[in-house]
């Protein structure tokens, strides 16, 4: 049930964000009603207003007996529960550093997998790195290559390739060779060609390369850290089933964390392998009572044409540690109160105004205590457990309080009142607790027998329109079931007669004559012979993701079948064309027809970005023969201005370790040529969207040089620009994006659908300045504060010295002080003077004692900084607002989101653990701050001298000694009575005196998140955690600090591969020119798993004047004549006449009210109606002057055409002169009624000599 997978509010938020607009506006109302029905069904036990539990409030897994095992996915609960048998953040817990990593981790692991770690968490990632994946499938299968690629990039520890390619019957009496036809597998052919060219560059066509060895070597190239070996299937089966084998011997064979992935195998082989996985040491795991016995999780994936299926069996007792991988939200608490006197002990939890909780019925709640709570009170409140019984609304819910010590005994009466009082006094907020749970799986044989039993709920939803159709499900399952017997008898499905036999065989076994059933089976038979590249890529992603779930216990697995197809592409295909096609066979031609494949190969496809999504798109396009007809204009245009980094290698297929530092687009082109040398790739490394520079991507390119655009971008600004160009030039666009396990695809169909910009995501929440400065209550607040501190201390301030050092040395202190005051004002001028006095320090690098002096100076500065930030500032804030102070309304000042800070100081008291922890944090801060301060004063040559730099190393002992010597003397304020000007001048004098020796300036630093050696993240983490400790916020590790401070987007290869494949399906529909209802926008979450597909919304109709209607795709086009061009260009008066003539319909007259170019107004009838100078001006010149001035609307300022333009303005004007067309916004009005209306965009096409 979905209520066990995702909370109501999580599901509500996700669907609201992506689909509420769809439901409201879609003309297909039944889609909206159906989606609403599914929402109700999914949230039946968690929705607002749900009834109370009737059963005891404890999680069944806590009471169940768990089995210990050498296989990590069935670990005992105690091995992964961190607090009171609950997971506070599943999937992100710390891994066990004492465990030996069998996967051969090296030093670059963290950098290579950093984006994936932010998705999976360190605990789950560690298990993935220690896993062994056994793969059984045809060694030339594109689905096998795709799955292995995803697993290798994900960093599994070891891959065992089972080799059964012997052309003989195996020990179970099964033959697999007939089941797979590699001539109809385009993706497999591309992968194999690329592997041969990469791994064996000198290979000759007549030389035989073992398929298993080729696949193994390819995996090593993809990820050198993954171990690969080849094993005979017979040896594997004998090794795990032999009764005399001990579990330790089996572990030696398959590893401590094995998962078996079965790819493109007959159903009988799938059943045989699944049985073997459930028979460890010759005993069935379901019947055995031996604690150490378990099963090997089993995943099977298979495709046939445009259809596919996944099956998962993870054993009778699989433990899910974290179902969604999301960090529970910490919500601030307003109050806690009893429901009423006869409530049976229920308590009402009220969130702070403006806060929304994310809890659902049945959730367990964990406290976040206020600063200053006593250990006794904290222990008392920790002894109780709160379980949600009723969700009233997003800000209020009910709980029942239980005692942890008394085995889930409900607390009532006076004891409950005492707990409520304690929560109101000491609890600042709460978060839901993630509880591991155990779920049972059926074997494949049993699941097939029970597939039509609704009570078993064996099918996961993959398409809300298709998945809940039982007839469709039955038809596809029956077709897959019959595929083995038909292929065994026929060897292949070669013509229509074979397809008829297939349909008859399925009908006979299913005993039905339902027309829908027959239609689906016929479609299946029609394409089952071949493999469809996008479908293979989808199932390769799904299969790999389920394997990772089995290995880590992270995310909710598929239970147990999942079916997905794209048979809507068959509606427009012409399969009969393949029968008369004498060219080499291919899966694409067989499924879609020769004509459509020819169109695909002749298209000009613009791929924007060659990162993770871009690499997957390019690989799929190469397999789909896109851009192979160079003589017909076919090509792939690729651009990306980024270079390859180590962290890209865990999800970007086309790059290798040796490519680090290269341009992504160039390296991608080289890789694509290995996969399919027929693909014509045009490569660029320039930015799309910089219209001020002359690039390849000009108006001519957008109008003539591209047919379809595929977005593989990572920012909204670039997406909006691409979208605007596609709308302006009526080009199709497919946009894809990912965020961890979530992904989305949007297709923009010219003249039919809305555009990408038609709907916008809500803006990212910003943190108020007052919250950052004085009242943080979340760790993100302290991290952002520390990030700003870094920029101020090590970027802004050194740059400030470099900017003003010349003026300081040349001007009198009083004159410079006055200039600061006049420019900045009193407070800002004094702040800058203090900083300059601190920073303008020169050292004689030639002296032998230079390192010692600089190190001592920096340590002293860091100690003073720590005192100022974490003691003086908090002390002053508490003086200004004492703990017992109230605001103007009589409400305690320190309430709600405001937390009183605790001033922190270095202490010699080693008996207090809390003080020792504070000491350690202050030492870390001083060490990190002094290290960066030292580097500020060193020249580049010294920074590059490693031996010299060792003299500046700051150890923890150095920082501790400096703090001990520094003490905590009170700051002196004796100069408060001194005049401001005198104090300001005094600071400048100090700066002038000390800056005389600064020759080359100071080093300013840009925050770099991915280089641990530079100390940037370490400084931010130490500063953030000290501030968090002071405000009672739980600190976080450097990994989480890096994510927030560096604004890192979590990513993993499986999500990327999935959305790229979905994009390619939509590409096929665009070539087919399908009706809008056949296209699919997609939102997926592989963690849940959750899939939602909807048709794109039609373009919104805009109501104009006199009944005129238009959409964003419409425009009024006006062609400049040769004569007008030779006379300097069309004038404004001529343009207005042409617009009026084209826009006026019938006898109703219109007047043009105003004309604008972007944000610049060029004409307004009430201002320029009689202004002949403006009306007779060249339109091009008016636009150039408007853009140059930046503000043509201000009539009080006359435009000085002789004014010297800046370099940027000159570039803008040049860019306008290169444009082939200009688009204008025109407002018209009815001269009789005064009613105004907007026209479609008016495009002026400039005359160009051919």
Task: Convert the pLDDT of each residue in 167-199 to its tens digit.
Answer: 444 444 455 767 888 999 999 999 999 999 999
Across-strand partners of 1166?
none
Q: How far apart are the C-alpha atoms of 1196 and 271, rounded to whole Å?
A: 83
Nearest to 711 by CA among 780, 612, 811: 612
Q: Which CA distances in Å does 396 have to 43, 326, 390?
A: 18, 22, 9
Question: How sure is the predictor about 69, in pLDDT bands with cuts at 50, 70 and 90?
Answer: very low
Residues 864, 858 contacting (CB under 8 angstroms) = no
* CA 1002 – CA 805 distance, rounded (Å): 10
1222: left (phi over 0), alpha (psi -120 to 50) or beta: beta
pLDDT of 1197:
43
pLDDT band at 626 (very low <50, low <70, confident <90, very high): very high
Q: In what order do the strands lie in the sheet with 733-739?
A: 681-684, 635-639, 604-608, 708-711, 733-739, 742-748, 1081-1085, 1090-1094
Q: What is the pLDDT of residue 1206?
A: 64
DSSP string, 517-547: HHHHHHHHHHHTTSB-HHHHHHHHHHHHHHH
CA triple 994-999-1003, angle to 5 deg: 90
Q: Which of 215, 77, 230 is nearest to 141 (CA)?
A: 215
Cα–Cα distance measured from residue 804 to residue 799, given in angstroms and rounded to the nearest whole number: 9
- Length of the chain counted residue by residue: 1250
Which position has the higher pLDDT, 89 or 1034?
1034
More confident residue, 1222 or 50: 1222
User: Where does residue 585 rank: exposed (0-12), middle (13-18), buried (19+ CB within 10 A)?
Assistant: middle
The predicted-structure confidence for 320-353, as pLDDT tens digits, reads as follows 999 998 888 889 999 999 887 555 678 999 999 8
Tokens of 1083: 């939102």
**Is a pLDDT exceeding 70 seen at residue 369?**
yes
Using CA atoms, how far residue 502 sits from 481, 492, 507, 521, 556, in Å, is 11, 11, 9, 8, 36
CA 850 from centre of chain: 48
- Model pLDDT, residue 1116: 92
The helix-helix angle for 1053-1072 and 594-601 (nearest 10°) equals 110
566, 535 in Cβ contact below 8 A?
A: yes
Distance CA 412, CA 346 (A): 9
Residue 1199 is encoded by which pair of tokens?
Answer: 């435009």
Give the C-alpha separation, 231 to 253, whole Å: 10
Strand-pairing partners, residue 1116, are 1242
Distances (CA, A) of 79 to 96, 99, 259, 408: 10, 13, 20, 22
pLDDT given for residue 475 in this prediction:
94
What span, in angstroms and rounded, lies between the C-alpha atoms of 51 and 60? 20
Share of residues in the chain with pLDDT > 70 (%): 83
Output 164 or 675, whichever has higher pLDDT. 675
Inter-CA distances, 1067 with 52, 600, 710, 1079, Å: 49, 9, 9, 10
Its sign, for the CA torsion 1146, 1151, 1153, 1157, is positive
Residue 605: phi and psi, rounded to 5, are -100, 125
Residue for token digits 């155990």?
438
pLDDT for res 655:
95
Do β-strands 307-313 and 298-304 pair in parallel, antiparallel, or remain unpaired? antiparallel
* Choice between 807 and 693, residue whose per-residue pLDDT is larger: 807
- Judge contact between 680 and 635, C-beta under 8 A: yes
pLDDT of 110 strictly over 80: no
CA–CA separation, 864 vs 632, rounded Å?
71
Q: Calculate the dihedral angle through the C-alpha atoms of 725, 729, 730, 734, rounding to the nearest 10 degrees.
A: -30
Summarize pLDDT for 936-950 with one digit per residue, the tens.
988 776 666 656 567
Distance CA 124, CA 245 (A): 30
CB atoms within 10 A of CB 277: 26
Task: Please check whether residue 139 is in contact with residue 1064, taking contact to mean a CB–CB distance below 8 angstroms.
Answer: no
The single residue of 770, 840, 863, 1064 carrying the catalytic annotation is 770
- Taking every pair of C-alpha atoms in the chain, what is the biggest distance, in angstroms? 103
Mean per-residue pLDDT, 784-799: 96
Q: State residue 342's pLDDT score.
A: 56
pLDDT tens, 749-760? Answer: 999 999 999 987
- Give the chain's mean pLDDT: 83
Which residue would you say has higher pLDDT here, 500 or 1035?
1035
Angle subtended at Cα 398 by Cα 397 and Cα 399, rounded to the nearest 5 degrees: 130
Phi, psi of 850 (to 5 degrees): -55, -50
Query: Which band of pLDDT confidence, cut at 50, 70 and 90, is reported for residue 976?
Result: low
**Strands of 184-321, DSSP E:** 227-232, 258-263, 279-280, 283-284, 298-304, 307-313, 318-320
On the question of pLDDT at 971 being above 80, the answer is: no
| Of 1189 and 24, the one with more pLDDT | 1189
Q: Does the pLDDT value for residue 503 go beyond 90?
A: no
Write phi, then psi, for 786 (nearest 5 degrees): -70, -35
Residue range 386-438, pLDDT digits in tens: 999 999 999 999 999 998 877 678 888 888 989 999 999 889 899 999 989 99
Mapped onto helix, strand or coil, the DSSP state of residue 1140 is helix
One-character DSSP codes across 1189-1227: HS--S-TTS---TTSPPPHHHHHHHHHHHH-SEEEEEEE
* Strands 1081-1085 vs 427-433: parallel, antiparallel or unpaired: unpaired
pLDDT at 264: 95
**What distance in Å separates the CA atoms of residue 739 and residue 996, rounded to the nearest whole number?**
52
Beta bridge partners of 682: 637
What pLDDT is recorded for position 43? Answer: 37
| Tokens at 798, concatenated | 């050194």
| Assigned token pair, 957 | 């002992």
What pLDDT is attached to residue 82?
33
3-state helix, strand, coil in the chain (%, to 5): 45, 15, 40
Cis bond before residue 560 (omega within 30° of 0): yes
Instruction: Give the pLDDT band of residue 997 (cuts 50, 70, 90).
Output: low
Residue 840 reports pLDDT greater than 50: yes
573 has a pLDDT exceeding 70:
no
Please check whether residue 28 is in contact with residue 375, taking contact to mean a CB–CB distance below 8 angstroms: no
User: What does DSSP say about strands 1081-1085 and 1090-1094: parallel, antiparallel, or unpaired?
Assistant: antiparallel
The average pLDDT across 225-251 equals 87
Q: Which two tokens stand for residue 264?
A: 């493109």
Secondary structure of 282-316 in HEC code, one letter for each residue: CEECCCCCCCCCCCCCEEEEEEEECEEEEEEECCC
**Phi, psi of 320, deg, nearest 5:** -95, 120
Taking the C-alpha atoms of residue 844 and residue 1239, their distance in angstroms, rounded to an integer, is 71
Tens-digit pLDDT profile for residues 727-769: 999 999 999 999 999 999 999 999 999 999 998 777 777 888 8
Average pLDDT rounded to a whole number, residues 76-103: 35
Q: Does 863 participate in catalysis according to the annotation?
A: no
Is residue 841 left, alpha or beta, with left meaning phi > 0 and alpha meaning psi from -120 to 50? beta
Lowest model confidence (mean pLDDT) among 571-575, 935-939, 1082-1086: 571-575
Q: What is the pTM of this model?
A: 0.86
Asked whether residue 584 carries a pLDDT value surpassing 50, the answer given is yes
Contact of 77 with 85, CB cutoff 8 Å: yes
Which residues, 6 or more positions from 102, have their beta carbon under 8 angstroms from its beta carbon? 130, 157, 158, 255, 256
């Amino acid at each position: 049930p979905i209520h066990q997978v995702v909370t109501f509010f999580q599901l509500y938020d996700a669907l609201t964000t992506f689909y509420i607009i769809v439901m409201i506006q879609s003309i297909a109302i039944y889609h909206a009603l159906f989606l609403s029905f599914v929402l109700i069904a999914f949230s039946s036990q968690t929705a607002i207003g749900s009834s109370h539990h009737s059963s005891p409030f404890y999680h069944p897994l806590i009471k169940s007996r768990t089995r210990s095992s050498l296989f990590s996915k069935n670990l005992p609960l105690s091995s992964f529960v961190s607090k009171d048998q609950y997971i506070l953040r599943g999937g992100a817990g710390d891994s066990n550093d004492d465990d030996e990593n069998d996967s051969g981790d090296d030093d670059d692991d963290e950098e290579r997998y950093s984006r994936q770690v932010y998705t999976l968490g360190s605990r789950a990632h560690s298990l993935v790195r220690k896993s062994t994946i056994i793969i059984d499938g045809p060694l030339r299968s594109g689905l096998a290559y795709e799955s292995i690629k995803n697993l290798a990039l994900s960093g599994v520890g070891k891959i065992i390739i089972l080799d059964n390619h012997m052309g003989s019957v195996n020990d179970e009496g099964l033959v697999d060779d007939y089941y797979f036809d590699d001539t109809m597998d385009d993706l497999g052919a591309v992968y194999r060609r690329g592997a041969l060219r990469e791994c064996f560059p000198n290979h000759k066509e007549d030389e035989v390369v073992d398929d298993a060895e080729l696949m193994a070597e390819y995996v090593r190239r993809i990820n050198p850290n993954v171990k690969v070996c080849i094993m005979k299937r017979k040896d594997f089966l004998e090794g795990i089933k032999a009764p005399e084998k001990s579990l330790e011997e089996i572990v030696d064979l398959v590893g401590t964390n094995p998962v078996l992935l079965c790819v493109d195998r007959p159903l009988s082989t799938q059943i045989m392998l699944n049985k073997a996985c459930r028979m460890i040491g010759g005993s069935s795991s379901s019947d055995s009572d031996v604690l150490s016995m378990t099963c090997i999780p089993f995943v099977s994936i298979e495709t046939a044409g445009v259809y596919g299926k996944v099956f998962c069996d993870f054993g009778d007792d699989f433990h899910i540690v974290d179902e969604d991988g999301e960090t529970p939200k910490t919500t601030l608490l307003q109050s806690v109160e009893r429901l009423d006197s006869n409530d049976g002990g229920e308590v009402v939890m009220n969130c702070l105004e403006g806060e929304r909780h994310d809890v659902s019925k049945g959730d367990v709640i964990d406290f976040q205590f206020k600063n200053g709570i006593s250990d006794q009170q904290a222990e008392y409140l920790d002894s109780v457990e709160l379980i949600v019984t009723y969700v009233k609304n997003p800000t209020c819910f009910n709980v029942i309080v239980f005692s942890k010590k008394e085995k889930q005994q409900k607390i009532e009466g006076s004891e409950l009142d005492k707990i409520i009082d304690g929560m109101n006094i000491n609890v600042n907020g709460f978060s839901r607790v993630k509880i591991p749970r155990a779920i049972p799986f059926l074997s494949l044989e049993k699941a097939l027998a029970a597939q039509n039993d609704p009570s078993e709920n064996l099918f996961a939803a993959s398409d809300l329109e298709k998945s809940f159709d039982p007839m469709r499900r039955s038809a596809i399952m029956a077709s897959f079931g019959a595929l083995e017997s038909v292929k065994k008898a026929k060897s292949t499905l070669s013509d229509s007669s074979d397809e008829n036999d297939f349909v008859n065989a399925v009908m006979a076994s299913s005993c039905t004559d339902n027309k829908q059933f027959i239609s689906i089976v016929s479609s299946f038979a029609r394409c089952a012979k071949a493999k469809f590249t996008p479908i293979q890529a989808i199932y390769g992603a799904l299969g790999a993701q389920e394997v990772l779930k089995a290995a880590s216990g992270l995310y909710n697995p598929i239970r147990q079948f999942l079916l997905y197809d794209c048979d809507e592409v068959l509606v427009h295909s012409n399969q009969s064309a393949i029968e008369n096609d004498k060219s080499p066979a291919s899966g694409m031609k067989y499924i879609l027809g020769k004509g459509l494949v020819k169109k695909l190969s002749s298209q000009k496809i613009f791929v924007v970005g060659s990162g993770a999504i871009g690499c997957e798109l390019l690989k799929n396009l190469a397999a789909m023969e896109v851009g192979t007809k160079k003589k017909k204009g076919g090509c792939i245009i690729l651009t990306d201005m980024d270079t390859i980094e180590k962290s890209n290698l865990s999800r970007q297929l086309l790059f290798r370790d040796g490519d680090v530092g290269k341009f992504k687009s160039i390296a991608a082109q080289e890789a694509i040529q290995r996969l399919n040398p027929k693909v014509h790739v045009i490569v660029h490394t320039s930015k799309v969207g910089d219209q001020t520079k002359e690039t390849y991507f000009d108006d001519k390119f957008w109008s003539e040089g591209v047919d379809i655009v595929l977005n593989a971008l990572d920012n909204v600004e670039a997406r909006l620009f691409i979208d605007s160009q596609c709308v302006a030039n009526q080009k199709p666009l497919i946009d894809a994006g990912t965020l961890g396990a979530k992904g989305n695809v949007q297709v923009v169909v010219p003249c039919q659908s809305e555009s990408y910009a038609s709907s916008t995501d809500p803006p990212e929440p910003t943190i108020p300045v007052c919250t950052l400065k004085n009242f943080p209550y979340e760790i993100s607040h302290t991290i952002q504060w520390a990030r700003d501190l870094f920029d101020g201390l090590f970027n802004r301030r050194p740059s400030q010295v470099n900017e003003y050092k010349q003026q300081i040395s040349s001007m009198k202190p009083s004159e410079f002080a006055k200039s600061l005051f006049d420019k900045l004002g009193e407070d800002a001028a004094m702040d800058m003077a203090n900083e300059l006095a601190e920073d303008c320090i020169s050292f004689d690098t030639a002296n032998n004692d230079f390192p010692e002096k600089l190190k001592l100076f920096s340590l002293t500065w860091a100690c003073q900084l720590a005192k100022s930030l974490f003691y003086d500032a908090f002390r002053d804030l508490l003086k200004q607002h004492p703990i017992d102070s109230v605001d103007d309304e009589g409400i305690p000042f320190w309430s709600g989101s405001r937390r009183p800070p605790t001033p922190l100081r270095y202490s010699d008291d080693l008996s207090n653990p809390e003080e020792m922890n504070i000491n350690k944090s202050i030492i870390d801060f001083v060490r990190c701050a002094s290290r960066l301060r030292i580097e500020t004063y060193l020249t580049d040559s010294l920074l590059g001298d490693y031996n010299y730099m060792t003299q500046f190393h700051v150890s923890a002992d150095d920082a501790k000694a400096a703090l001990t010597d520094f003490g905590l003397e009170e700051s002196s304020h004796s100069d408060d009575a001194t005049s401001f000007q005198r104090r300001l001048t005094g600071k400048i004098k100090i700066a002038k005196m000390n800056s005389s020796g600064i020759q080359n300036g100071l080093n300013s630093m840009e925050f770099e998140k991915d280089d641990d050696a530079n100390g940037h993240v370490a400084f931010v983490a130490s500063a953030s955690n000290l501030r968090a400790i002071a405000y009672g916020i739980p600190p976080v590790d450097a990994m989480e600090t890096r994510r927030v401070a560096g604004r890192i987007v979590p990513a993993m290869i499986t999500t990327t591969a999935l959305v790229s494949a979905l994009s390619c399906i939509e590409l096929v529909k665009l070539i087919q020119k399908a009706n809008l209802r056949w296209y699919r926008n997609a939102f997926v979450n592989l963690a849940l798993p959750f899939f939602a597909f909807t048709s794109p919304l039609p373009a919104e109709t805009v109501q104009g004047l006199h009944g005129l209607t238009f959409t964003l795709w419409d425009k009024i086009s006006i062609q400049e004549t040769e004569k007008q061009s030779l006379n300097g260009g069309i004038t404004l008066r001529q343009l207005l006449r042409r617009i009026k003539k084209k826009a006026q319909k019938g006898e109703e007259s219109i007047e043009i009210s105003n004309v604008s170019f972007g944000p610049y107004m060029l004409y307004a009838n009430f201002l320029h109606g009689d202004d002949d100078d403006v009306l007779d001006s060249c339109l091009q010149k008016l636009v150039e002057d408007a853009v140059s001035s930046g503000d043509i609307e201000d009539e009080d300022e006359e435009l000085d055409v002789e004014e010297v333009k800046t370099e940027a303005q000159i570039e803008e004007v040049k860019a306008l002169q290169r444009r082939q067309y200009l688009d204008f916004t025109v407002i018209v009005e009815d001269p009789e009624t005064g009613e105004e209306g907007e026209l479609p965009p008016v495009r002026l096409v400039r005359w160009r000599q051919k």
